[in-house]
A = this chain, B = another copy of it.
Amino acid sequence: MSISHSPARQPPAPRLDLDEAAAHARRAAVLASVESILGWDEQTMLPPAGGAHRADQVAAVASLAHSLRTDPAQGDRLERLAVAMEGGDWSADERATVLRLLRDYRKHVRLPARLVEETARACIEGQQAWVDARRRSDWKGFAPKLAHIVALKREQASCQSPDLDPYDSLLDDHEPGARASDVSALFDRLRPSLVPLVRACTGAPHAPLDDVLRGQFPRGAQEVFVRTVAERIGFDFNRGRLDSSEHPFCSTTGPHDCRITTRWDESYLPTALFGVLHEAGHGLYEQGLREQAFGLPGGEAASLGIHESQSRLWENLVGRSLPFWEWCLPLARTMFPAALSETSPESVQRSLLAVRPSLIRVEADEVTYNLHVMLRFDLERALVRGELAVADLPSAWDDRFEQDFGIRPANAAEGVLQDIHWSAGLIGYFPTYTLGNVYAAQMMAAIERDLPALPVELAAGRFGSLLGWLRERVHHHGRLIDPGRLVAAATGGPISERWLVESLWKRYGSAHGLAQRPPA
Protein backbone atom coordinates (compact mmCIF):
# COMPACT_ATOMS: atom_id res chain seq x y z
CA MET A 1 0.00 0.00 0.00
CA SER A 2 1.31 3.47 -0.82
CA ILE A 3 1.07 6.43 1.51
CA SER A 4 -1.81 8.68 0.62
CA HIS A 5 -1.05 12.11 -0.82
CA SER A 6 -3.47 13.71 1.61
CA PRO A 7 -3.27 11.65 4.77
CA ALA A 8 -5.33 14.16 6.73
CA ARG A 9 -8.35 13.30 4.58
CA GLN A 10 -8.02 9.54 4.98
CA PRO A 11 -10.19 7.85 7.57
CA PRO A 12 -8.17 6.71 10.59
CA ALA A 13 -6.55 3.29 10.31
CA PRO A 14 -9.14 1.33 12.33
CA ARG A 15 -11.92 2.73 10.12
CA LEU A 16 -10.01 1.53 7.07
CA ASP A 17 -9.58 -1.84 8.75
CA LEU A 18 -13.33 -2.05 9.28
CA ASP A 19 -14.06 -1.20 5.64
CA GLU A 20 -11.57 -3.77 4.45
CA ALA A 21 -12.79 -6.43 6.86
CA ALA A 22 -16.34 -5.86 5.62
CA ALA A 23 -15.29 -6.07 1.96
CA HIS A 24 -13.44 -9.29 2.70
CA ALA A 25 -16.44 -10.80 4.48
CA ARG A 26 -18.62 -9.91 1.52
CA ARG A 27 -16.24 -11.66 -0.88
CA ALA A 28 -16.47 -14.82 1.22
CA ALA A 29 -20.26 -14.49 1.27
CA VAL A 30 -20.35 -14.25 -2.53
CA LEU A 31 -18.52 -17.59 -2.76
CA ALA A 32 -20.83 -19.08 -0.14
CA SER A 33 -23.76 -17.95 -2.26
CA VAL A 34 -22.25 -19.82 -5.23
CA GLU A 35 -22.23 -22.93 -3.04
CA SER A 36 -25.92 -22.26 -2.34
CA ILE A 37 -26.73 -22.15 -6.05
CA LEU A 38 -24.93 -25.46 -6.55
CA GLY A 39 -26.93 -26.94 -3.67
CA TRP A 40 -30.24 -25.58 -4.88
CA ASP A 41 -29.55 -26.79 -8.40
CA GLU A 42 -28.62 -30.23 -7.12
CA GLN A 43 -31.96 -30.65 -5.39
CA THR A 44 -34.13 -29.21 -8.12
CA MET A 45 -32.41 -29.49 -11.49
CA LEU A 46 -29.38 -31.81 -11.62
CA PRO A 47 -29.60 -34.69 -14.11
CA PRO A 48 -29.36 -38.12 -12.45
CA ALA A 49 -25.81 -38.81 -13.62
CA GLY A 50 -24.49 -35.39 -12.61
CA GLY A 51 -23.93 -36.15 -8.94
CA ALA A 52 -20.24 -37.00 -8.84
CA HIS A 53 -19.21 -33.89 -10.72
CA ARG A 54 -21.46 -31.76 -8.52
CA ALA A 55 -19.54 -33.06 -5.50
CA ASP A 56 -16.30 -31.92 -7.20
CA GLN A 57 -17.79 -28.49 -7.83
CA VAL A 58 -19.04 -28.01 -4.27
CA ALA A 59 -15.77 -29.25 -2.78
CA ALA A 60 -13.80 -26.84 -4.98
CA VAL A 61 -15.90 -23.81 -4.07
CA ALA A 62 -16.05 -24.77 -0.37
CA SER A 63 -12.29 -25.03 -0.30
CA LEU A 64 -11.85 -21.61 -1.93
CA ALA A 65 -14.39 -20.07 0.44
CA HIS A 66 -12.50 -21.59 3.34
CA SER A 67 -9.21 -20.09 2.12
CA LEU A 68 -10.86 -16.71 1.98
CA ARG A 69 -12.45 -17.07 5.42
CA THR A 70 -9.13 -18.02 6.97
CA ASP A 71 -7.01 -15.40 5.24
CA PRO A 72 -4.50 -14.32 7.94
CA ALA A 73 -4.72 -10.70 6.78
CA GLN A 74 -8.40 -10.73 7.70
CA GLY A 75 -7.58 -12.27 11.08
CA ASP A 76 -4.98 -9.56 11.76
CA ARG A 77 -7.42 -6.84 10.79
CA LEU A 78 -10.13 -8.19 13.07
CA GLU A 79 -7.75 -8.66 16.01
CA ARG A 80 -6.52 -5.05 15.58
CA LEU A 81 -10.11 -3.84 15.41
CA ALA A 82 -11.13 -5.72 18.55
CA VAL A 83 -8.34 -3.93 20.42
CA ALA A 84 -9.15 -0.54 18.86
CA MET A 85 -12.79 -0.95 19.83
CA GLU A 86 -11.96 -1.10 23.50
CA GLY A 87 -11.98 2.69 23.21
CA GLY A 88 -13.06 5.12 20.53
CA ASP A 89 -16.30 6.15 18.96
CA TRP A 90 -17.91 2.96 17.66
CA SER A 91 -21.57 2.09 17.36
CA ALA A 92 -23.03 -0.98 19.03
CA ASP A 93 -23.63 -2.47 15.56
CA GLU A 94 -20.01 -1.96 14.59
CA ARG A 95 -18.81 -3.62 17.76
CA ALA A 96 -21.21 -6.52 17.32
CA THR A 97 -20.14 -6.90 13.69
CA VAL A 98 -16.46 -7.15 14.53
CA LEU A 99 -17.08 -9.43 17.48
CA ARG A 100 -18.99 -11.87 15.32
CA LEU A 101 -16.61 -11.75 12.38
CA LEU A 102 -13.75 -12.44 14.76
CA ARG A 103 -15.65 -15.29 16.42
CA ASP A 104 -16.25 -16.80 12.97
CA TYR A 105 -12.65 -16.27 11.92
CA ARG A 106 -11.25 -17.99 15.01
CA LYS A 107 -13.56 -20.93 14.42
CA HIS A 108 -12.75 -21.28 10.73
CA VAL A 109 -9.02 -20.82 11.10
CA ARG A 110 -8.84 -23.85 13.37
CA LEU A 111 -10.27 -26.10 10.65
CA PRO A 112 -7.72 -27.72 8.33
CA ALA A 113 -8.47 -27.08 4.64
CA ARG A 114 -8.27 -30.83 4.07
CA LEU A 115 -11.07 -31.39 6.59
CA VAL A 116 -13.28 -28.70 5.04
CA GLU A 117 -12.91 -30.10 1.55
CA GLU A 118 -13.34 -33.71 2.67
CA THR A 119 -16.44 -32.79 4.67
CA ALA A 120 -17.99 -30.88 1.77
CA ARG A 121 -17.44 -33.84 -0.52
CA ALA A 122 -18.59 -36.44 2.02
CA CYS A 123 -21.80 -34.50 2.63
CA ILE A 124 -22.65 -34.13 -1.04
CA GLU A 125 -21.95 -37.79 -1.62
CA GLY A 126 -23.80 -38.62 1.59
CA GLN A 127 -26.93 -36.83 0.40
CA GLN A 128 -26.78 -38.57 -2.95
CA ALA A 129 -26.32 -41.94 -1.22
CA TRP A 130 -29.17 -41.11 1.15
CA VAL A 131 -31.63 -40.45 -1.69
CA ASP A 132 -30.84 -43.88 -3.09
CA ALA A 133 -30.73 -45.62 0.31
CA ARG A 134 -34.08 -44.23 1.38
CA ARG A 135 -35.66 -45.22 -1.91
CA ARG A 136 -34.49 -48.82 -1.42
CA SER A 137 -34.70 -48.73 2.40
CA ASP A 138 -31.08 -49.86 2.34
CA TRP A 139 -29.44 -48.98 5.65
CA LYS A 140 -26.43 -51.25 5.15
CA GLY A 141 -25.27 -49.44 2.00
CA PHE A 142 -25.65 -46.07 3.67
CA ALA A 143 -24.14 -46.78 7.10
CA PRO A 144 -20.45 -46.49 6.07
CA LYS A 145 -21.12 -43.08 4.48
CA LEU A 146 -22.81 -41.88 7.66
CA ALA A 147 -20.03 -43.26 9.86
CA HIS A 148 -17.53 -41.29 7.76
CA ILE A 149 -19.60 -38.12 8.11
CA VAL A 150 -19.98 -38.54 11.89
CA ALA A 151 -16.22 -39.02 12.21
CA LEU A 152 -15.57 -35.87 10.16
CA LYS A 153 -18.06 -33.85 12.21
CA ARG A 154 -16.49 -35.03 15.48
CA GLU A 155 -13.12 -33.94 14.13
CA GLN A 156 -14.60 -30.60 13.09
CA ALA A 157 -16.18 -30.14 16.52
CA SER A 158 -12.97 -30.65 18.43
CA CYS A 159 -10.91 -28.55 15.98
CA GLN A 160 -13.17 -25.52 15.86
CA SER A 161 -14.03 -25.15 19.55
CA PRO A 162 -11.56 -27.16 21.63
CA ASP A 163 -13.01 -25.66 24.82
CA LEU A 164 -16.56 -26.90 24.15
CA ASP A 165 -18.18 -30.30 24.44
CA PRO A 166 -18.14 -31.67 20.85
CA TYR A 167 -21.92 -31.68 20.51
CA ASP A 168 -22.10 -28.12 21.85
CA SER A 169 -19.53 -27.13 19.26
CA LEU A 170 -21.78 -28.41 16.45
CA LEU A 171 -24.94 -26.99 18.03
CA ASP A 172 -23.25 -23.61 18.26
CA ASP A 173 -22.82 -23.61 14.45
CA HIS A 174 -26.60 -23.57 14.11
CA GLU A 175 -27.73 -21.83 17.31
CA PRO A 176 -25.00 -19.48 18.51
CA GLY A 177 -24.66 -19.56 22.26
CA ALA A 178 -27.00 -22.52 22.80
CA ARG A 179 -25.71 -25.41 24.91
CA ALA A 180 -27.02 -28.97 24.89
CA SER A 181 -27.54 -28.97 28.66
CA ASP A 182 -29.92 -25.98 28.40
CA VAL A 183 -31.73 -27.47 25.43
CA SER A 184 -32.03 -30.75 27.25
CA ALA A 185 -33.46 -29.01 30.32
CA LEU A 186 -35.98 -27.13 28.18
CA PHE A 187 -37.01 -30.35 26.46
CA ASP A 188 -37.37 -32.01 29.87
CA ARG A 189 -39.80 -29.29 30.92
CA LEU A 190 -41.71 -29.47 27.63
CA ARG A 191 -42.15 -33.22 27.45
CA PRO A 192 -44.41 -33.57 30.54
CA SER A 193 -46.87 -31.17 28.92
CA LEU A 194 -46.75 -32.69 25.46
CA VAL A 195 -47.15 -36.35 26.28
CA PRO A 196 -50.48 -35.90 28.13
CA LEU A 197 -51.73 -33.61 25.35
CA VAL A 198 -50.98 -36.26 22.71
CA ARG A 199 -52.71 -38.84 24.90
CA ALA A 200 -55.73 -36.60 25.49
CA CYS A 201 -56.08 -35.74 21.80
CA THR A 202 -55.75 -39.28 20.54
CA GLY A 203 -58.23 -40.45 23.16
CA ALA A 204 -60.77 -37.68 22.55
CA PRO A 205 -64.22 -39.02 21.60
CA HIS A 206 -64.74 -36.40 18.87
CA ALA A 207 -61.23 -35.95 17.50
CA PRO A 208 -61.00 -34.02 14.20
CA LEU A 209 -60.10 -35.92 11.02
CA ASP A 210 -57.70 -34.56 8.41
CA ASP A 211 -60.14 -35.34 5.61
CA VAL A 212 -61.61 -31.94 4.80
CA LEU A 213 -58.89 -30.91 2.31
CA ARG A 214 -58.80 -34.28 0.57
CA GLY A 215 -60.19 -34.53 -2.95
CA GLN A 216 -59.09 -33.65 -6.47
CA PHE A 217 -56.62 -30.75 -6.60
CA PRO A 218 -54.97 -30.58 -10.05
CA ARG A 219 -51.29 -29.67 -9.96
CA GLY A 220 -51.57 -26.68 -12.29
CA ALA A 221 -54.28 -25.01 -10.20
CA GLN A 222 -52.34 -25.80 -7.01
CA GLU A 223 -49.32 -23.99 -8.45
CA VAL A 224 -51.36 -20.86 -9.06
CA PHE A 225 -53.03 -21.13 -5.66
CA VAL A 226 -49.91 -21.53 -3.50
CA ARG A 227 -48.08 -18.86 -5.46
CA THR A 228 -50.96 -16.47 -4.82
CA VAL A 229 -50.87 -17.24 -1.10
CA ALA A 230 -47.09 -16.79 -0.94
CA GLU A 231 -47.34 -13.43 -2.71
CA ARG A 232 -50.18 -12.30 -0.50
CA ILE A 233 -48.34 -12.97 2.76
CA GLY A 234 -45.46 -10.91 1.35
CA PHE A 235 -43.04 -13.20 -0.50
CA ASP A 236 -41.49 -11.12 -3.30
CA PHE A 237 -41.20 -13.10 -6.54
CA ASN A 238 -39.18 -10.33 -8.08
CA ARG A 239 -36.51 -11.46 -5.64
CA GLY A 240 -37.35 -15.13 -5.42
CA ARG A 241 -38.64 -18.33 -7.00
CA LEU A 242 -40.86 -21.29 -6.19
CA ASP A 243 -39.92 -24.74 -7.50
CA SER A 244 -40.50 -28.42 -6.74
CA SER A 245 -38.27 -30.79 -4.82
CA GLU A 246 -38.61 -34.08 -3.00
CA HIS A 247 -38.16 -32.33 0.35
CA PRO A 248 -39.26 -28.65 0.56
CA PHE A 249 -36.51 -26.16 1.38
CA CYS A 250 -35.55 -22.49 1.23
CA SER A 251 -32.23 -21.41 -0.17
CA THR A 252 -30.86 -17.90 -0.35
CA THR A 253 -28.36 -17.34 -3.11
CA GLY A 254 -27.98 -13.58 -2.94
CA PRO A 255 -29.54 -10.50 -1.38
CA HIS A 256 -32.22 -10.47 -4.07
CA ASP A 257 -32.52 -14.17 -4.82
CA CYS A 258 -34.36 -16.37 -2.33
CA ARG A 259 -35.68 -19.68 -3.62
CA ILE A 260 -38.30 -21.85 -1.97
CA THR A 261 -39.62 -25.25 -2.99
CA THR A 262 -42.57 -27.42 -2.18
CA ARG A 263 -43.96 -30.82 -3.13
CA TRP A 264 -47.32 -31.79 -4.53
CA ASP A 265 -50.11 -34.23 -3.75
CA GLU A 266 -53.06 -33.97 -6.11
CA SER A 267 -55.34 -35.64 -3.58
CA TYR A 268 -54.40 -33.57 -0.49
CA LEU A 269 -54.09 -29.80 -0.69
CA PRO A 270 -52.16 -29.18 2.56
CA THR A 271 -49.02 -30.96 1.29
CA ALA A 272 -48.14 -28.18 -1.13
CA LEU A 273 -49.78 -25.33 0.78
CA PHE A 274 -48.10 -25.94 4.13
CA GLY A 275 -44.80 -26.62 2.37
CA VAL A 276 -45.11 -23.17 0.84
CA LEU A 277 -46.29 -21.42 4.02
CA HIS A 278 -43.36 -22.93 5.90
CA GLU A 279 -40.72 -22.17 3.28
CA ALA A 280 -42.16 -18.73 2.50
CA GLY A 281 -41.88 -18.05 6.23
CA HIS A 282 -38.16 -18.72 5.91
CA GLY A 283 -38.14 -16.68 2.72
CA LEU A 284 -39.83 -13.67 4.31
CA TYR A 285 -37.08 -13.67 6.93
CA GLU A 286 -34.35 -13.80 4.27
CA GLN A 287 -36.07 -11.11 2.21
CA GLY A 288 -36.40 -8.99 5.37
CA LEU A 289 -32.69 -8.99 6.13
CA ARG A 290 -31.00 -5.69 5.37
CA GLU A 291 -29.70 -6.00 1.81
CA GLN A 292 -27.00 -3.36 2.26
CA ALA A 293 -25.53 -5.58 4.99
CA PHE A 294 -25.28 -8.62 2.69
CA GLY A 295 -22.40 -10.83 3.78
CA LEU A 296 -22.10 -9.12 7.18
CA PRO A 297 -23.64 -10.19 10.50
CA GLY A 298 -26.16 -7.35 10.20
CA GLY A 299 -27.54 -8.96 7.03
CA GLU A 300 -27.52 -12.59 8.09
CA ALA A 301 -30.01 -14.77 9.96
CA ALA A 302 -29.59 -14.90 13.74
CA SER A 303 -29.76 -18.69 14.02
CA LEU A 304 -31.58 -21.71 12.70
CA GLY A 305 -33.92 -21.56 15.68
CA ILE A 306 -34.90 -18.01 14.81
CA HIS A 307 -35.24 -19.05 11.18
CA GLU A 308 -37.52 -21.90 12.16
CA SER A 309 -39.58 -19.61 14.38
CA GLN A 310 -40.44 -17.63 11.26
CA SER A 311 -41.39 -20.65 9.16
CA ARG A 312 -43.39 -22.23 11.99
CA LEU A 313 -45.18 -19.01 12.81
CA TRP A 314 -46.52 -18.70 9.26
CA GLU A 315 -47.16 -22.41 8.83
CA ASN A 316 -48.83 -23.21 12.16
CA LEU A 317 -49.85 -20.04 13.97
CA VAL A 318 -51.13 -18.27 10.85
CA GLY A 319 -51.84 -21.16 8.44
CA ARG A 320 -53.80 -23.28 10.95
CA SER A 321 -55.80 -20.34 12.33
CA LEU A 322 -59.47 -19.64 11.73
CA PRO A 323 -58.98 -16.04 10.52
CA PHE A 324 -56.52 -17.24 7.87
CA TRP A 325 -59.07 -19.69 6.48
CA GLU A 326 -61.80 -17.06 6.55
CA TRP A 327 -59.69 -15.31 3.92
CA CYS A 328 -58.07 -18.31 2.23
CA LEU A 329 -61.00 -20.67 1.77
CA PRO A 330 -62.95 -18.38 -0.61
CA LEU A 331 -59.74 -17.98 -2.65
CA ALA A 332 -59.17 -21.75 -2.70
CA ARG A 333 -62.78 -22.32 -3.67
CA THR A 334 -62.39 -20.22 -6.83
CA MET A 335 -59.68 -22.65 -7.94
CA PHE A 336 -61.08 -25.94 -6.63
CA PRO A 337 -64.83 -25.40 -6.64
CA ALA A 338 -65.85 -29.06 -6.71
CA ALA A 339 -63.53 -30.24 -3.96
CA LEU A 340 -64.36 -27.38 -1.59
CA SER A 341 -68.05 -26.75 -2.17
CA GLU A 342 -69.19 -28.17 1.17
CA THR A 343 -66.47 -26.85 3.45
CA SER A 344 -66.46 -23.98 5.92
CA PRO A 345 -63.47 -22.13 7.40
CA GLU A 346 -64.28 -23.75 10.73
CA SER A 347 -64.29 -27.28 9.35
CA VAL A 348 -61.04 -26.72 7.43
CA GLN A 349 -59.30 -25.22 10.44
CA ARG A 350 -60.42 -27.97 12.78
CA SER A 351 -59.29 -30.67 10.33
CA LEU A 352 -55.85 -29.08 10.26
CA LEU A 353 -55.55 -29.67 14.01
CA ALA A 354 -55.87 -33.44 13.87
CA VAL A 355 -53.31 -35.19 16.08
CA ARG A 356 -52.08 -38.65 15.19
CA PRO A 357 -48.77 -40.24 16.18
CA SER A 358 -47.08 -41.25 12.92
CA LEU A 359 -43.74 -42.42 11.64
CA ILE A 360 -42.58 -39.55 9.47
CA ARG A 361 -41.45 -36.26 11.03
CA VAL A 362 -42.21 -34.05 8.04
CA GLU A 363 -45.78 -35.37 7.99
CA ALA A 364 -46.24 -35.07 11.75
CA ASP A 365 -48.85 -32.85 13.34
CA GLU A 366 -47.75 -29.83 15.33
CA VAL A 367 -48.00 -31.57 18.72
CA THR A 368 -46.17 -34.84 18.12
CA TYR A 369 -43.59 -33.05 15.97
CA ASN A 370 -41.56 -32.03 19.00
CA LEU A 371 -41.34 -35.65 20.17
CA HIS A 372 -39.75 -36.53 16.81
CA VAL A 373 -37.20 -33.79 17.40
CA MET A 374 -36.37 -34.88 20.95
CA LEU A 375 -35.69 -38.42 19.74
CA ARG A 376 -33.22 -37.17 17.12
CA PHE A 377 -31.56 -34.80 19.58
CA ASP A 378 -30.86 -37.59 22.05
CA LEU A 379 -29.63 -40.01 19.39
CA GLU A 380 -27.30 -37.58 17.62
CA ARG A 381 -25.90 -36.39 20.92
CA ALA A 382 -25.09 -40.00 21.80
CA LEU A 383 -23.50 -40.49 18.37
CA VAL A 384 -21.22 -37.48 18.76
CA ARG A 385 -20.29 -38.45 22.31
CA GLY A 386 -19.35 -41.91 21.06
CA GLU A 387 -21.99 -43.50 23.31
CA LEU A 388 -23.86 -44.88 20.30
CA ALA A 389 -22.25 -46.52 17.25
CA VAL A 390 -23.63 -45.79 13.77
CA ALA A 391 -24.18 -49.53 13.38
CA ASP A 392 -26.54 -49.51 16.37
CA LEU A 393 -28.51 -46.49 15.25
CA PRO A 394 -31.47 -48.29 13.55
CA SER A 395 -32.32 -50.41 16.59
CA ALA A 396 -31.83 -47.45 18.95
CA TRP A 397 -34.16 -45.43 16.73
CA ASP A 398 -36.83 -48.09 16.55
CA ASP A 399 -36.75 -48.82 20.29
CA ARG A 400 -37.03 -45.17 21.24
CA PHE A 401 -39.72 -44.58 18.65
CA GLU A 402 -41.82 -47.41 19.96
CA GLN A 403 -41.39 -46.11 23.50
CA ASP A 404 -42.41 -42.53 22.58
CA PHE A 405 -45.09 -43.17 19.96
CA GLY A 406 -46.34 -46.68 20.62
CA ILE A 407 -45.58 -47.73 17.03
CA ARG A 408 -42.47 -49.25 15.51
CA PRO A 409 -41.08 -48.46 12.03
CA ALA A 410 -41.35 -51.44 9.69
CA ASN A 411 -38.20 -50.52 7.79
CA ALA A 412 -35.33 -48.05 7.69
CA ALA A 413 -36.99 -45.80 5.11
CA GLU A 414 -39.78 -44.95 7.54
CA GLY A 415 -37.37 -44.90 10.47
CA VAL A 416 -33.76 -43.88 10.67
CA LEU A 417 -33.39 -43.14 6.94
CA GLN A 418 -36.29 -40.70 6.70
CA ASP A 419 -34.38 -37.41 7.12
CA ILE A 420 -31.70 -35.94 4.88
CA HIS A 421 -29.95 -34.03 7.70
CA TRP A 422 -27.32 -36.46 8.95
CA SER A 423 -26.40 -37.45 5.40
CA ALA A 424 -25.71 -33.76 4.76
CA GLY A 425 -23.56 -33.41 7.88
CA LEU A 426 -26.27 -31.43 9.67
CA ILE A 427 -25.71 -32.65 13.22
CA GLY A 428 -26.78 -30.32 16.01
CA TYR A 429 -29.48 -29.01 13.72
CA PHE A 430 -32.61 -30.94 14.81
CA PRO A 431 -33.07 -29.27 18.23
CA THR A 432 -33.40 -25.90 16.49
CA TYR A 433 -36.75 -27.11 15.11
CA THR A 434 -38.28 -27.27 18.57
CA LEU A 435 -36.45 -24.11 19.64
CA GLY A 436 -38.15 -22.50 16.65
CA ASN A 437 -41.55 -23.68 17.87
CA VAL A 438 -40.81 -22.30 21.33
CA TYR A 439 -39.67 -18.93 19.93
CA ALA A 440 -42.62 -18.75 17.50
CA ALA A 441 -45.22 -19.31 20.24
CA GLN A 442 -43.53 -16.73 22.44
CA MET A 443 -43.45 -14.21 19.56
CA MET A 444 -47.10 -14.87 18.67
CA ALA A 445 -48.16 -14.23 22.26
CA ALA A 446 -46.38 -10.87 22.11
CA ILE A 447 -47.84 -10.09 18.70
CA GLU A 448 -51.37 -10.78 19.94
CA ARG A 449 -50.76 -8.27 22.74
CA ASP A 450 -49.20 -5.70 20.40
CA LEU A 451 -51.63 -6.12 17.47
CA PRO A 452 -55.13 -6.63 18.87
CA ALA A 453 -56.72 -6.20 15.41
CA LEU A 454 -54.67 -9.04 13.91
CA PRO A 455 -57.53 -11.59 13.63
CA VAL A 456 -59.64 -9.08 11.70
CA GLU A 457 -56.72 -8.26 9.44
CA LEU A 458 -55.87 -11.91 8.72
CA ALA A 459 -59.51 -12.65 7.92
CA ALA A 460 -59.32 -9.85 5.32
CA GLY A 461 -56.08 -11.24 3.84
CA ARG A 462 -54.04 -8.36 5.25
CA PHE A 463 -50.70 -9.61 6.51
CA GLY A 464 -48.77 -6.33 6.55
CA SER A 465 -48.97 -5.53 10.29
CA LEU A 466 -47.81 -9.00 11.23
CA LEU A 467 -44.94 -8.93 8.75
CA GLY A 468 -44.07 -5.40 9.85
CA TRP A 469 -43.77 -6.56 13.48
CA LEU A 470 -41.46 -9.41 12.46
CA ARG A 471 -39.40 -7.15 10.20
CA GLU A 472 -38.84 -4.61 12.95
CA ARG A 473 -38.41 -6.90 15.96
CA VAL A 474 -36.62 -9.82 14.33
CA HIS A 475 -35.49 -9.50 10.71
CA HIS A 476 -33.82 -6.11 10.86
CA HIS A 477 -31.36 -7.17 13.56
CA GLY A 478 -29.69 -9.86 11.49
CA ARG A 479 -27.34 -11.76 13.77
CA LEU A 480 -26.06 -8.70 15.58
CA ILE A 481 -27.92 -10.00 18.66
CA ASP A 482 -27.71 -13.63 19.81
CA PRO A 483 -30.96 -15.64 19.61
CA GLY A 484 -31.78 -15.67 23.31
CA ARG A 485 -31.46 -11.90 23.65
CA LEU A 486 -33.22 -11.33 20.34
CA VAL A 487 -36.32 -13.26 21.43
CA ALA A 488 -36.30 -11.61 24.85
CA ALA A 489 -36.02 -8.12 23.35
CA ALA A 490 -38.73 -8.80 20.77
CA THR A 491 -41.22 -10.32 23.22
CA GLY A 492 -40.39 -8.59 26.51
CA GLY A 493 -39.43 -11.69 28.48
CA PRO A 494 -36.84 -14.48 28.70
CA ILE A 495 -37.20 -17.59 26.54
CA SER A 496 -39.74 -19.97 28.02
CA GLU A 497 -41.56 -23.06 26.80
CA ARG A 498 -44.67 -21.75 28.58
CA TRP A 499 -46.10 -20.03 25.48
CA LEU A 500 -45.78 -23.10 23.32
CA VAL A 501 -47.46 -25.27 25.94
CA GLU A 502 -50.31 -22.76 26.34
CA SER A 503 -50.76 -22.32 22.60
CA LEU A 504 -50.87 -26.06 21.90
CA TRP A 505 -53.23 -26.85 24.77
CA LYS A 506 -55.50 -23.97 23.89
CA ARG A 507 -55.78 -24.65 20.17
CA TYR A 508 -55.65 -28.44 20.17
CA GLY A 509 -57.65 -28.75 23.38
CA SER A 510 -60.41 -26.69 21.81
CA ALA A 511 -60.37 -28.63 18.52
CA HIS A 512 -60.56 -31.92 20.44
CA GLY A 513 -63.17 -30.77 22.95
CA LEU A 514 -60.85 -31.23 25.93
CA ALA A 515 -61.92 -29.81 29.26
CA GLN A 516 -58.57 -30.46 30.83
CA ARG A 517 -55.85 -27.77 31.17
CA PRO A 518 -52.11 -28.29 30.80
CA PRO A 519 -50.44 -29.94 33.80
CA ALA A 520 -49.21 -27.32 36.25
Binding site for B on A (CB under 8 A): 27, 30-31, 33-34, 37-38, 41, 45-50, 52-54, 56-57, 60-61, 64, 236-241, 253-257, 259, 294
Known: A30-B57, A56-B254. 18 other contacts (CB 8 A): A33-B53, A33-B57, A34-B60, A37-B57, A47-B238, A47-B239, A47-B240, A47-B256, A47-B257, A50-B239, A50-B254, A50-B257, A52-B256, A53-B253, A53-B254, A53-B256, A53-B257, A57-B254
Beta-carbon contact of B241 and A30 below 8 Å: no
CB of A206 to closest CB in B, whole Å: 45
Question: Nearest chain B CB to A286's CB is how many angstroms away?
Answer: 12
Q: Is the CB of B30 within 8 A of A254?
A: no
A50 and B240 alpha carbons, distance in the complex (Å): 8
CB-nearest residue of chain B relative to A52? Answer: B256
In the complex, which residue of chain B has the Cβ closest to the Cβ of A61? B34
CB of A27 to closest CB in B, whole Å: 7
Contacts of A47 in B (CB 8 A): 237-241, 256-257, 259
Q: Which residues of B contact A237 (CB under 8 A)?
A: 47
Q: A238 is contacted by which of B34, B49, B256 (Cβ under 8 Å)?
A: B49
Cβ distance A259 to chain B, nearest Cβ, rounded Å: 8
A448 to chain B, nearest CB (A): 34
Q: How many copies does the complex hold?
A: 2
A238 adjacent to B37 (CB under 8 Å): no
Closest chain B residue to A35, Cβ basis:
B34
* Contact of B56 with A30 in the complex, beta carbons under 8 Å: yes
Which residues of chain B are within 8 angstroms of A37 by Cβ–Cβ distance? 37-38, 41, 57
Closest B residue by C-beta to A237: B47
Q: Give the CA-CA distance A57 to B31 in the complex, in Å.
A: 7
Contact yes or no, B49 A239, CB < 8 A: yes
For this complex, 10 residue pairs linking A to B, each with C-beta atoms less than 8 Å apart, are A34-B61, A37-B37, A37-B41, A45-B241, A47-B257, A47-B259, A50-B254, A53-B256, A53-B257, A57-B254
What 4 pairs across the A-B complex have the smallest Cβ distances? Answer: A53-B254, A50-B257, A49-B256, A49-B239
Cα–Cα distance between A47 and B259 once the two chains are bound (Å): 9
| Chain B residue with the shortest CB-CB distance to A256 | B49
Nearest CB of B to A15, in Å: 24
- Residues of B within 8 Å of A46, CB to CB, are 257
Check A30–B60 contact: CB distance below 8 A: yes
* Cα–Cα, bound, A27→B63 (Å): 12
| Chain B residues near A60 (CB-CB < 8 A) | 27, 30-31, 34
Which one of A47, A64, A255 has the greatest number of beta carbons of chain B within 10 Å?
A: A47
Judge whether B53 and A255 touch: CB under 8 Å: yes
Rounded to whole angstroms, the CA-CA distance of A38 and B30 in the bound complex is: 12
**CB distance A38 to B34 under 8 Å?**
yes
Give the complex CA separation of A37 and B41 in angstroms: 9
Complex alpha-carbon distance, A52 and B259, angstroms: 17
CA distance A113 to B241 in the complex (A): 34
* Chain B residues near A33 (CB-CB < 8 A): 53, 57
A56 cross-chain contacts in B, Cβ below 8 A: 30, 254
Min CB distance A369 to B, Å, is 31
CA distance A294 to B50 in the complex (A): 13
The answer for the CA separation of A244 and B64 in the assembled complex, in Å, is 32
Report if A257-B49 is in contact (Cβ < 8 Å); known contacts: A41-B41, A60-B27: yes
A238 cross-chain contacts in B, Cβ below 8 A:
47-49
A89 CB to closest chain B CB (Å) equals 31
CB-defined contacts of A30 to chain B, threshold 8 Å: 53, 56-57, 60
CB distance from A515 to the nearest CB of B (A): 50
Residue numbers in B under 8 Å from A241 (CB-CB) = 45, 47
Are B34 and A256 touching (Cβ within 8 A)?
no
